[in-house]
Amino acid sequence: MVLFSVPGPFTPTCSEQHLPGYIRHIDSFADKGVDAVACVSVSDPFVMAAWGKVSGADDRVLMISDGNGALAAATGTELDASAMGLGTRSQRYAMVVRNGLVEHLFLEGGPQLEVSSAENVLSHL
């Protein structure tokens, strides 16, 4: 599976580039043997469901809520966005998980979208 994390649903980079890239390339992931593509964010499940619906993720990209940031804490990917009024979030990343093991981790070094993009992840499958 491919799991990618975004700092915030409905935020510009996440909504205009990150999630749409995975939606656009969902068939390419399937062609490379990926069983599931999931998007996770430190947000509540209602926001994640609404964002998935308006973005066209439908049932193609699983929209997962890390409501209390437990996954972000466990993976060491917490992001302190309190200076922007957003509290604790998750850094932007993508990972390829095979048989329960993280095979590749693509962690962004800042607010940009480069290594965790759908196109970059596809190039490593």
The residues annotated with a catalytic role in the active site are: 14
Nearest to 35 by CA among 64, 71, 3: 3
**Look-up of token digits 């700092």:** 7
**Secondary structure class of 110 (helix, strand, coil):** coil
| Backbone phi, psi, residue 15, to 5° | -85, -30
Q: What is the DSSP string of 17-77?
A: IIHHHHHHTHHHHHHTT---EEEEESS-HHHHHHHHHHHT-TTTSEEEE-TTSHHHHHHT-
